[in-house]
Amino acid sequence: EPEVTQTPSHQVTQMGQEVILRCVPISNHLYFYWYRQILGQKVEFLVSFYNNEISEKSEIFDDQFSVERPDGSNFTLKIRSTKLEDSAMYFCASSEGIYQETQYFGPGTRLLVL
C-alpha cells in the first residue's frame, strides 16, 4: 500500500540553525501539507501546497518557514533559523484531490532544537 515517507525520523539542531525536513508524498497525490505536534498538544496545520504554490498557511507559518517541491517526488519544509519552540513532531501529509479527499500522514520527523 502506498504511503507517505519522511526523513529524517529524528533531527537535533542548535538554535539558530537551518533545518530541512523531507517528505515523499504518495505518488499520484497532488496536494501536500505540513502539520506539527508539539509534545502533549494538538496536531496543528502549518501549510498546504498545490501546483507549486502555497494554497493556505496558518499563523504559525511565518517568514522563518518555507516549502518547496524541488523535484517530482520530494516535498520539503525549511526552517531558516530554528527556535527552541520549534521543537515538535512535524508531519507531512498528502491527498489525491481537495475538499472531499482525505489526507494521509507520514510517520513524522521529531525535531529537537537545543
Partner 1 sequence: QKEVEQDPGPLSVPEGAIVSLNCTYSNSAFQYFMWYRQYSRKGPELLMYTYSSGNKEDGRFTAQVDKSSKYISLFIRDSQPSDSATYLCAMRLKNDYKLSFGAGTTVTVRA
Residue 31 binding partner 1, by CB under 8 A: yes
Q: Taking the complex as a whole, how short is the minimal distance between the CB of residue 91 and partner 1, in angstroms?
A: 5
Size of the site for partner 1 (CB under 8 A): 27
SS3 of 74, please? Answer: coil
**Minimum CB separation from partner 1 for residue 27, in Å?**
18
61 binds partner 1 (CB under 8 A): no
Which listed range, 14-22, 43-51, 67-75, 79-87, lies at the site for partner 1 (CB under 8 A)?
43-51
- Under the rule (CB under 8 A), what is the footprint of partner 1? 4, 6, 31, 33, 35, 41-45, 48, 55-56, 58, 89, 91, 98-100, 102-108, 110
